[in-house]
Structure 1
Amino acid sequence: MLDLNDIALFVHVVRSGSFAGAARRLGVPANTVSRRVQELEKNLGTRLLQRSTRSLTLTSAGEEFNSRCAGAVAGLIEAGQDLSSESQEPSGLVRVAAPADFLDLFVMEWIAEFLATYPKVRLALVLSDSKADLIEDRIDVAFRGGLLEDSEYIGRQVLSAGNDGLVASPGYLAARGAPSTLQDLQEHDCVTFVQSGIGHVTWRMAKPDGIEEAVQVAPRFAGNTAQALRKATLAGLGVTLLPRAILMKDLQAGRLVPVMPEYQRPGHGLNVLYPSRRHLAPAVSAFIDLVVAKVGELDATLTPLRP
């Protein structure tokens, strides 16, 4: 089998007009260049260069071989140079996997700002609450809530865990009254994540003294995304338990109100995952930096749930 490096050496020799010239260009000893070209001729079974003490000339076979290989070698060199120069500037497609409600936290204006800053970057968002396989799905970076369980990936937290809290709409509480103990929730309509069927769901929460309590609630409505639960709660379908980041705007606007805010459940925040720390593309690094910065600013404004 032909060694492509030997073919490239031969093309460089032809361009330079001598073994010494090619050796200087490539930074290798001249005798190494000569030996590798001889090895190429041996593998081809034909002489490519006529050598004399003063010059090198191409044989007819050498002329034909060079004409067919020179363009390909030049293309490979150009491709490498282009990739090297592009590696200094964010460019190319970045595939991002994120929870279905990611754009409720990370607003589209920030993405527009990112793409304006890096005009050579293209962005593809894959939004789903199911966990993407970064390798199989060709994902460059993923954002996930919950505990980091993928030990084969590099991960770090970009939004602090904080606490999850109970909320309901003012209309629901006016009609049904506000629960005063965690066990009172058994008599209320609740909005929960889908589990196996729509049977009872256990909520485990703690008071400021750290003592944990558990209550089994029967969901009136269950969904598979945080936004489905939020919208159901806004529509007055019951009490829900969600992270503070999702609830903050509705609480500030009075669309939702805290329910028994003394009860809190430790949250898991938002984490960023990527397949490997080595050779992380500049466009991917730039997008991670943007998310860390923007979500960090948001994180600083979030406060615990209060009545």
Structure 2
Amino acid sequence: MVDFNDIALFVEVVRCGSFSEVGRRLGMPPNTVSRRMQGLEEQLGARLLQRTTRKLTLTDAGREFHDRCAASIDGLRQASQDLNASSKVPSGLVRVAAPADFLDFYTPQMVSVFLDRYPAVRFEFLLSDAMADLIADRIDVAFRGGASGGTGYIAHQMPIASMGLFASPAYLGRYGSPGSLKDLLDHRCLTMPSSSGRAVWRLQGEDGADEQVEVAGAFAATTTRALHLAAVAGLGIALLPRAIANAEVAAGKLESVLPRYRRRDEMMCVVYPSHRQVTPAVSAFVASVIEQFGQGSTWGPALTGSAAR
């Protein structure tokens, strides 16, 4: 009969990605973990893991077995933890996949406040605009643009705050302030890189109608942070999150340009793998993000670059 402890160990191996990491977490020699996995494969009559000197990968049979067992193992583990009152206190490691600019919006100061409240929690932020594989990268929660987490994920939506146009006093003093969207054609605009060297800004006017203008400039960058710094430096007009830019406006480093226009609100998703139980630490962290940004959040367009698959 298959030992259910070995099945639970197999699920942990998949999440950790190596025998040594499982051994470190569970206080077990890596060769013991390997031996138990070999024994499980023999009992099942199927190869679950492909072993190389660099990493472990799932076979097709292993992936199917993991997908069918992981939720049950998590459910049993969660049921036992719920009997212990201390398990309701947020604790442990939370791995977060987010865009490269994430900590410009959910700032280290906010992280500090969270950790003061929940000192037993630890964070690992994987900050990249590239796609993140929640299973392979052992991600607990991911932030991405759009309105859906995709198949196999649970996604909670929240609005991304509106954005506006901003430039430095030095730039406006040199080139003047545009009076209409069409005037932006004659200005240096700060955009994300594109093959054409131009970008289309779709904005909403006071009457709620959408308008668009094609813009270009001498500076383009892949992150909102870089565009923000470029605007402060006087390189051009940038489309920025209002809550971020407002601080620079108050300091006299930026001025609002065509303030009657803003980018239509979009949606952001907070995403979890559907097979995994959400821990108290993850729940508390997501609640903190929603509390900070659920109304009039400061999220910028970089969120559209981060996805989970």
Q: Distance in 2 between matches of 1:277 and 1:245?
A: 36
- Residues 160 and 296, structure 2, Cα contact 8 Å, conserved in 1: no
| Paired residue type of 1:217 | V
RMSD: 3.0
1:111-260 map, 5 Å = 111-144=111-144, 146-152=145-151, 153-158=153-158, 160-196=159-195, 199-260=197-258
> Partner of 1:40 in structure 2?
none
Question: Which amino acid is 1:285 matched to?
Answer: S
- Please name the residue that 2:96 is paired with: 96
Change (3 A) 1:236 1:210: same
**Residue pair 2:192, 2:220 contacting (<8 A) in 1 also:** yes
Distance of aligned partners of 1:150 and 1:239 in 2 relative to their CA distance in 1, 3 Å threshold? same
- 1:5-154 equivalences in 2 (<5 Å): 85=84, 87-144=87-144, 146-152=145-151, 153-154=153-154
Q: How does 1:289-300 map to 2 (within 5 A)?
A: 289-296=287-294, 299=297
- Mean CA deviation greater in 268-277 or 255-264: 268-277
Q: How far is the alpha carbon of 1:276 from its aligned partner?
A: 2.4
Tell me, yes or no, if the aligned pair for 2:164 and 2:239 is still in contact at 8 Å. yes
Distance, in Å, in 2 between the alignment partners of 1:218 and 1:298 is 29
Label 1:2 to 1:188 Cα distance change in 2 as closer, same or farther (>3 A): closer
Which residue in 1 is equivalent to 2:278?
Answer: 280
Shift of 1:298: 6.7
CA contact (8 A) 2:98 2:129 kept: yes
> Runs of 5+ in structure 2 lacking a partner?
6-78, 299-309
**Separation in 2, partners of 1:161, 1:114:** 21
Mapped partners of 1:82, 1:155: distance in 2:
24
Letter in 2 for 1:193: M
Structure 1 residues 211 and 119: CA distance shift in structure 2, 3 A: closer
1:110 positional shift: 2.5
Counterpart contact for 2:148–2:269, Cα < 8 Å? no
Deviation at 1:270, TM superposition (A): 4.1
Percent of matched pairs sharing the same residue? 47
The TM-score with structure 1 as length reference comes to 0.64
Greater Rg over alpha carbons, structure: 1
For residue 222 of structure 1, give the secondary structure of its aligned residue in structure 2.
coil
Aligned to 2:14: none
Distance in 1 of aligned mates of 2:284 and 2:276: 15
The 1:162/1:283 distance shift into structure 2, 3 A limit, reads closer
The answer to whether structure 1 residue 261 and structure 2 residue 259 are counterparts is yes
Distance between the aligned counterparts of 1:214 and 1:298, measured in 2?
23
Q: Any conservation in 2 of the 1:201–1:219 contact (CA below 8 Å)?
A: no
Q: Deviations over 1:49-105 (max 9, x none)?
A: xxxxxxxxxxxxxxxxxxxxxxxxxxxxxxx96796363332221101222222222
Shift of 1:170: 0.6
Judging changes above 3 Å, is the alpha-carbon distance between structure 1 residues 248 and 134 closer, same or farther for their aligned structure 2 residues? farther
Runs of 5+ in structure 1 lacking a partner? Answer: 6-79, 301-307
When normalised by structure 2's length, the TM-score is 0.64
Give, in whole Å, the separation in 2 of the partners of 1:259 and 1:81. Answer: 57
Given that 2:162 and 2:296 are in contact with CA atoms closer than 8 Å, whether structure 1 keeps it comes out as: no
